[in-house]
């Protein structure tokens, strides 16, 4: 029986990062993976979707070349080539993870891993043991009883990335990050897209102002949006799909070629031996303490399988913290109130901290500032004037409670707010930090200035 200091089950952005950090700390480390290194994020999520979205963005630029004083003739999309490029990017990244495993002397064990008592893992009949076993098995597309996925007419995100032909009409059920990203992509490619959202606003976890702006931008681009609506039945017996949608006005039937179910995720915790070991689970999540230890000594869990936000960067941070704690380092529990969320549709959405509604519900006396990109020189020059930056501060102490952005490139801008909040900066300190001109990031400073009645360019 092979013996390790640490075995990581799953090689997504939580698992492989955990394994590398463990190796850096001197642990003899192995990682178990049943598919491709990099997990869903790298192979079927974060990375390949961004490749698809980049193709859509370039196509959009070509369609609007005249707006930039350019004349482009005889251009078109090649849907198959767009998909192939996306797969090529994912394959290249997966090979990069293989290199990192070799570089860090981590043993990669290919196969299906199942936990056993006594700090052991059975991988397709071969048993391995370790002093510490870290579960990082991630999640998959969740299925609703009223929306069973057949992989052809009713699909999840995996199939949405590799469709053999572009659908003429698509219904996207759910308007979280996955739903709106694919809605933008297919709409840009020329598909007639309808979004069906159960809650009153699209991207419902975001600040209400951001949700309303995204809905306006999407509608302007021809995406149909149905909020406070529910798909109660799908009929796939014909050539396409007939979806029955229940709204406040009653029921209506919408026809499409394909329905994309983007209603959240389901954790991969079945058949991995949790019951055999006695690891506690509650509502589809493995219960852990602040350092990701389960109720059974020697077993840990990170990423989507635990109660924190189901985001790649959260899983990575959790894994690093977990192994540093095992190594005896002094670590501080992760602050889940300062986790940035990013959505890569167009316009992009990024946020951190409390929404305006949440801040009021918590009883804060707040200062709110907002700066539209229509007043930004850089945004105007780039032809990307949709959106804004919104900031929320505690009026009494100046604490930066929340930051919400929608517009071009905001997923790269949100880190300023994350770092500022981590360092406990105040509104006046942000305002007096000189921001470069002309940049999109100036909008952060201007939004703060608006909160304190000092805005210049608005």
pLDDT tens digits in sequence order for the chain, 458 residues long:
799 999 999 999 999 999 999 999 999 999 999 988 998 888 888 899 999 999 999 999 999 999 999 999 899 999 999 999 999 999 999 999 999 999 999 999 999 999 999 999 999 999 999 999 999 999 998 988 889 999 999 999 999 999 999 999 999 999 999 999 999 999 999 999 999 999 999 999 999 999 999 999 999 999 999 999 999 999 999 899 999 999 999 999 999 999 999 998 999 999 999 999 999 999 999 999 999 999 999 999 999 999 999 999 999 999 999 999 999 999 999 999 999 999 999 999 999 999 999 999 999 999 999 999 999 999 999 999 999 999 999 999 999 999 999 999 999 999 999 999 999 999 999 999 999 999 999 999 999 999 999 988 88
Q: Is 176 annotated as a binding residue?
A: yes
- Phi-psi sector, 10: left (phi>0), alpha (psi -120 to 50), beta: left
Average pLDDT, the chain: 95
Instruction: Give the chain's count of helices (H) and strands (E).
Output: 15, 24
Pick among 3.30.930.10, 3.40.630.40, 3.40.605.10, 3.50.50.60: CATH of 154-263: 3.50.50.60
Is 73 exposed, middle or buried, given 0-12, 13-18 or 19+ CB atoms closer than 10 A?
exposed
Residue 175 annotated as part of some ligand binding site:
yes
Shortest CA distance to 353 belongs to which of 412, 420, 413, 449?
Answer: 420
Known binding residue 280? Answer is: no
Query: Which are the contacts of 253, defined by CB distance < 8 A and separation ≥ 6?
Result: 242, 243, 244, 245
What was the pLDDT predicted at 344? 96
> Residue 43: its pLDDT value, please?
86
Residue 50 annotated as binding site: yes
What are the residue boundaries of the structural domains of the chain, listed by start?
2-141+266-336, 154-263, 347-451
State the pairing for strand pair 388-394/366-372: antiparallel
Task: Quote the pLDDT of residue 89.
Answer: 93
Q: What is the pLDDT of residues 70-92, one digit of tens each?
A: 999 899 999 999 999 999 999 99
Angle at 78 between CA 41 and CA 215, to 5 degrees: 60
Question: What is residue 353's predicted lDDT score, i.e. its pLDDT?
Answer: 98
The pTM score is 0.94
- The pLDDT, as a whole number, for residue 198 is 96
| Catalytic site includes residue 437 | yes
pLDDT tens digits along 333-366: 999 999 999 999 999 999 999 999 999 999 999 9
- Would you say 207 and 341 are in contact if contact means Cβ atoms under 8 Å apart? no
Same fold, 2-141+266-336 and 154-263: yes
Residue 54 counted as an annotated binding residue: no
Query: What does CATH list as the number for 2-141+266-336?
Result: 3.50.50.60
Distance CA 7, CA 128 (A): 9
Q: Say what the pLDDT of residue 146 is.
A: 87
Point out the catalytic residue in the list 64, 428, 437, 457.
437
- Whole-number pLDDT of residue 81: 96
Q: Which CATH number fits domain 347-451: 2.60.15.10, 3.30.390.30, 3.90.45.10, 3.30.460.10?
A: 3.30.390.30
């Amino acid at each position: 029986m092979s013996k390790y200091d640490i075995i990581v089950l799953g090689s997504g952005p939580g698992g492989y990062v955990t394994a590398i950090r463990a190796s850096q700390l001197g642990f003899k480390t192995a990682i178990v993976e049943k598919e491709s290194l990099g997990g869903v994020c790298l192979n079927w999520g974060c990375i390949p979707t961004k490749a698809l979205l980049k193709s859509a963005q370039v196509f959009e630029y070509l369609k609007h070349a005249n707006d930039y004083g350019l004349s482009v003739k005889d251009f078109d999309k090649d849907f198959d080539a767009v998909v192939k490029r996306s797969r090529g990017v994912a394959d290249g990244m997966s090979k990069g993870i293989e290199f990192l495993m070799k570089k860090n002397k981590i043993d990669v064990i290919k196969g299906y891993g199942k936990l056993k008592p006594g700090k052991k893992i059975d991988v397709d009949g071969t048993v391995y043991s370790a002093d510490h076993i870290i579960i990082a098995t991630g999640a998959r597309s969740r299925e609703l009883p009223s929306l069973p996925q057949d992989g052809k007419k009713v699909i999840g995100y995996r199939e949405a990335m590799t469709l053999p032909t572009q659908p003429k009409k698509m219904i996207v059920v759910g308007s979280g990050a996955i739903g709106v990203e694919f809605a933008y992509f297919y709409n840009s490619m020329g598909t007639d897209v309808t979004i069906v959202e159960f809650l009153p606003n699209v991207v419902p976890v975001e600040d209400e102002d951001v949700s309303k702006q995204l809905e306006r931008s999407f509608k302007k681009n021809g995406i149909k949006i149905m909020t406070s609506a529910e798909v109660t039945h799908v009929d796939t017996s014909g050539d396409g799909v007939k979806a029955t949608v229940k709204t406040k006005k009653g029921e209506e039937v919408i026809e499409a070629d394909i329905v994309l179910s983007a209603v959240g995720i389901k954790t991969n915790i079945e058949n991995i031996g949790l019951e055999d070991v006695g690891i506690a689970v509650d509502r589809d999540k493995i219960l852990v303490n602040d350092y990701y230890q389960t109720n059974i000594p020697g077993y840990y869990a990170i990423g989507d399988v635990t109660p924190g936000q189901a985001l790649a960067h959260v899983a990575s941070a959790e894994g690093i913290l977990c192994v540093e704690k095992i190594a005896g380092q002094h670590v501080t529990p992760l602050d889940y109130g300062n986790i940035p969320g990013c959505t890569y549709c167009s316009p992009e959405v990024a946020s951190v901290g409390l929404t305006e509604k949440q801040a009021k519900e918590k009883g804060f006396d707040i200062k709110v500032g907002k700066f539209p990109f229509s007043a930004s020189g850089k945004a105007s020059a780039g032809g990307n004037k949709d959106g804004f930056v919104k900031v929320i501060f505690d009026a009494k102490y100046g604490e930066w409670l929340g930051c919400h952005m929608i517009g071009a490139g905001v997923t790269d801008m949100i880190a300023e707010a994350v770092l500022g909040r981590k360092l406990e900066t105040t509104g006046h300190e942000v305002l007096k930090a000189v921001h470069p001109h002309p940049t999109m990031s100036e909008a952060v400073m201007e939004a703060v200035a608006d909160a304190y009645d000092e805005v210049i360019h608005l």
